[in-house]
Amino acid sequence: MVKCLVVYGSKYGSTAEVAAAVADGIGADLANAASQPDIRPYDVVVIGSPIYAGNYMQVVRDFLRSNRPLLSKRKVAAFITAAATWETPVGLTGDTDEGVFTQQEYADGLAGMSGGQVLDSRGFGGRLDPQVLDESDFGVLDWFYRYLMKRPLEGFDEIDIPEAYRWGEELRQTVGA
Ligand SMILES: Cc1cc2nc3c(=O)[nH]c(=O)nc-3n(C[C@H](O)[C@H](O)[C@H](O)COP(=O)(O)O)c2cc1C
């Protein structure tokens, strides 16, 4: 039997919800990257990260770094969550010439960073609730909206759990789990 694990990072919970739906769709185990899961028993590892300030979450980058030798011998897939509704979808600066990537490019990049045999990668919309942000995140985004997007900071909820579940089912078919 093919054993699959979904490993994710999440600060405010939306990527955790998407990861749980993907894991359900696959029939996979689920672990937060912060818990430093042991991936040795798994044939397939799906990695999920939100995009923060144009980068993957630190805990996910740490997970990739410390598991690189093992991941290079595994089948992998990756997904990201990001601000689907922003005009410049994932770049923080709004500069369209450089440093701005599409959700799909971010997802491809995450899969590539694992060093494993890539099965698929996918970008998902995330969620942002200004009410729950910590002071530092609120400050960054308040500035970003006001000065670059020229409108007040507003939240969004682009999470699509059925879509995440369907992607999980597709992965299950791909790996024959
Ligand atoms: C401080 C901060 C910075 C963010 N930076 C980006 C960004 O650069 N690009 C983007 O597309 N989304 C950005 N987002 C949106 C998050 O990727 C999105 O809200 C995601 O769903 C959060 O995941 P989590 O709930 O699992 O922590 C940012 C959100 C916050 C709070």
Ligand 1 midpoint to CA 84 (Å): 10
- The reply to whether the predicted model has a pTM over 0.85 is yes
Domain ranges of the chain: 4-86+101-129+157-175
pLDDT at 148 over 90: no
CA distances from 164 to 16, 50, 93, 155, 171 (A): 11, 14, 28, 21, 11
Nearest CA, atom 16, ligand 1: 82
- Give the C-alpha separation, 150 to 9, whole Å: 30
What is 4-86+101-129+157-175's CATH number?
Answer: 3.40.50.360
CA distances from 88 to 10, 14, 38, 91, 101 (A): 22, 20, 37, 6, 9
**pLDDT for the residue numbered 177:** 72
pLDDT at 104 over 90: no
**pLDDT for the residue numbered 122:** 95
**pLDDT for the residue numbered 97:** 45
What single letter denotes the amino acid at residue 153? L
In which residue are the tokens 């789990």 written? Answer: 177
Best mutation site among 14, 15, 52 for ligand 1 pocket (most ligand atoms within 8 Å of CB): 52
Ligand 1 midpoint to CA 50 (Å): 6
pLDDT confidence bin for 48, thresholds 50/70/90: very high
Q: Are 51 and 45 in contact (CB under 8 A)?
A: no
6 CB under 6 A from ligand 1?
no
pLDDT at 98 over 50: no
pLDDT confidence bin for 84, thresholds 50/70/90: low
The pLDDT tens digits of the residues spanning 33-47 come to: 999 999 999 999 999
Ligand 1 midpoint to CA 153 (Å): 13
pLDDT at 70 over 60: yes
- For residue 82, give the ligand 1 atom closest to its CA: 17
pLDDT confidence bin for 90, thresholds 50/70/90: very low
**pLDDT for the residue numbered 54:** 82
127 CB under 6 A from ligand 1?
yes
- For residue 127, give the ligand 1 atom closest to its CA: 21
Q: Which residues pair with 50 in a beta bridge?
A: 81
φ and ψ at 30, to 5 degrees? -130, 135
Show the tokens assigned to 150: 């020229």
Query: How distant is the alpha carbon of residue 4 from its chain centre?
Result: 17
- Give the C-alpha separation, 48 to 82, whole Å: 11
Ligand 1 midpoint to CA 134 (Å): 13
